[in-house]
Chain A
Amino acid sequence: MYKVIIIDDEYLARSVVKEYLAGHADLELVAECGDGFEGVKAIQQYQPDLIFLDIQMPKINGFEMLELIEEPPAVIFTTAFDEYAIRAFEAHAVDYLLKPFNKDRFDKAVGKWAEQKKSAPAVVDQGLLETAALSPSQNQRIVVKNGNKIKIIPVHDIWYLEAADDYVKVHTPEGYFLKNKTMGYFEQVLDKQQFARCHRSYIVNVQQITRIDPYEKDNHVALLRSGARVPVSRGGYGKLKSVLGL
């Protein structure tokens, strides 16, 4: 028996999947979730083998939900229309179902999952999340997990980001949050008019900068409104100047 969870904010959309699942005796539906928060909880609780995940959901979308899970299960996406999501799926997903879909198409997706499971353990392709993150809606906020709580940070609230081993520290007025991503990822995703990689280990929100002072011989330091000081390397100073239009 394999455990399955359906995550979709529309009741009728869940019931279609449920109906189609009834034909698969080896798949057991352990939970149904109406949003990403419930999804995170249910996945932690049940450790499912496969999830059916909608993309457009309230508060946090399907991709953001996946980012919050340390070892995500295999995912079959179900979505109606989202050109960015579809681009991401085409490149990286196990399979995806475009609503409305019929039983045959559903069975095919489950079959594909069963095939892949034999050969390799399920891992969510990072490329999927990164491609999806380029969608316009998603670069407006960063979703982080803080203990058991899920925190949504609007990007304009970010002061700066700092590299910390495998994580990135997202500094905000409420303190910092850790996100399991690389600096390169954020540099790509965040709006280049607002954020500048001013240092190998720092990305700064240029709207927060009040002053840039020389520091030691070749370096500078950026003073933020909050009083924080962010190091600026020689190359980073050039980037900052171009973003600020100096």
Chain B
Amino acid sequence: MAMNPLSARRFLIIFSVAWLVLITGHALLLNWFGLSLQVAVADSLISNLLLLGVCLMVINTLRFYSPSSGQYMNVVVLCLVLGIFWLLLDRSILWWTLGSEEEYFSFLQRSLVIRAAFGMLILGFISLTCIVWHNFQDLQLNEERKADAEKLAKDAELFKLRQQLQPHFLFNSLNSINALIGLRPDEARKMVQQLSDFLRGTLKKDETQWVSLQEELQYLELYLDIEKVRFGNRLSTEVTCEEGTGTLVLPALLLQPVMENAIKFGLYDTIGDTVITLHAAREDEHLIIQVQNPYDPETSSPKQGTGFGLSSVQRRLYLLFGRNDLLQTSGEENIFTTIIRIPQPGDPTDKKITAPLPSNKLCIK
């Protein structure tokens, strides 16, 4: 069931005022034509209150019946039928109450055509307004539904992107724990804790939520610690943040795939010690994060090397901010550099990322 237009406060006020104006105008007009004020007011009240009743019927009908574009004729017929009904009723009542005066009776007869036209006009106008109002409501509802659907699709896609956490990492970590249980049970216990905290973090975080850099780095630290257990002394990390960047915000879990990518090419695919650096800076209204890792140009060319990890980051940035220029990569000598620019929200207390949806339709692969 659709809402009644009159339930909207603004509509109700306009409607009432218009009706008062109509009644007053009608009475004044009749008075001007020479009817006594008393008769004019009575005529106006009777006619217009009846008309009001009929209008309310129309409004009510259109609440439940919304004509599709081919059915507007039905509305016209409805208006005609109700209009005629109103006219007959109005005439009978007026005649019955005020018809004793000969002069008034002849005036009533003469004015019937104008009354009919006027009533029809009002009825038509009311129906039209109702139809437009209902259509507008439907449109708004549809828009909302569409936005909801798009948001759902976006969330699903983000979730899917996030879920591609390397199963390799998980199983190999479990294998390391298996080894540590035999060798150094205390460390095994610690690693179980780290792995759990890490996984919990992955599961509970809302992808469309802002988190502070500090928070994200703490989370990243868990991941890096686990990798350090797996690869021992081979991996070292240098994390530097310029002053004041700790409170800047970024989408949750954005950095991790970047780090995964750095580890994949910098650690999994190289021999010997590896240093991975992360540097955070502020530039205008952007948080700039630069990650560098060594890579082997012989076995992994940077062109193919963007790999899954970074294309998912690119996609996320696009879904969140509608921009494709926020991720840059370059490979020089043996160092691969990834730079991410994160626009800072205008309102820092705003927890939810409310960047515009990309204008083109979302497609889910």
Contacts and interface: CB of A to CB of B under 8 A. Distances in A.
A and B are interacting partners = yes
Nearest to B303: A156
Nearest to B169: A80
Interface in B162-206: 167-168, 171-172, 174-180, 182-183
A162 interface: no
B178 A100 contact: yes
Interface stretch (A12-20, A40-48, A200-208): A12-20
Interface residues of B, number: 26
B167 A80 contact: yes
B278 to A, nearest CB: 22
Given A19-B182, A59-B296, A154-B301, A98 B176 contact: no
Interface in A120-168: 140-141, 152, 154, 156
Given A56-B168, A141-B299, A152-B299, A16 B175 contact: yes
A2 interface: no
B270 interface: yes
Given A80-B168, A81-B168, A99-B174, A12 B179 contact: yes
B65 interface: no
Contacts of B183: 12, 15, 19
Interface string B217-253: 0000000000001111000000000000000000000
B179 A19 contact: yes
A32 interface: no
A81 B167 contact: yes
B179 A13 contact: yes
Name the residue in B172, B183, B269 with the highest tally of chain A Cβ atoms < 10 Å from its Cβ.
Answer: B172
A60 B270 CA distance: 10
Interface string A3-15: 0000001111101
B301 A58 contact: no
A67 interface: no
Contacts of B178: 16, 99-100, 102
Say whether chain B's binding surface is mostly helix, strand, loop, or mixed. helix
B136 interface: no
B175 A80 contact: yes
Contacts of B182: 15-16, 19
A96 to B, nearest CB: 13
Interface string B244-280: 0000000000000000000000001111000000000
Contact of A12 (B230, B270, B299): B230
B231 A10 contact: yes
Contact of A100 (B175, B269, B298): B175
Nearest to A97: B175
Given A12-B180, A16-B178, A56-B268, A152 B298 contact: yes
A80 B172 contact: yes
A42 B299 CA distance: 22
B299 to A, nearest CB: 6
A13 B269 CA distance: 17
A13 B167 contact: no
B304 interface: yes
Contacts of A80: 167-168, 171-172, 175
B171 A140 contact: no
Contact of B176 (A9, A12, A19, A56): A12
B273 to A, nearest CB: 12
Contacts of B296: 58-59
Interface in A78-95: 80-82
Contact of A154 (B167, B180, B232, B298): B298
Given A80-B167, A152-B298, 12 more contacts: A10-B176, A12-B176, A12-B229, A12-B230, A15-B182, A16-B175, A19-B182, A59-B270, A81-B171, A82-B168, A99-B174, A154-B299
8 contacts: A13-B175, A16-B182, A34-B271, A81-B167, A99-B171, A100-B174, A141-B299, A152-B299
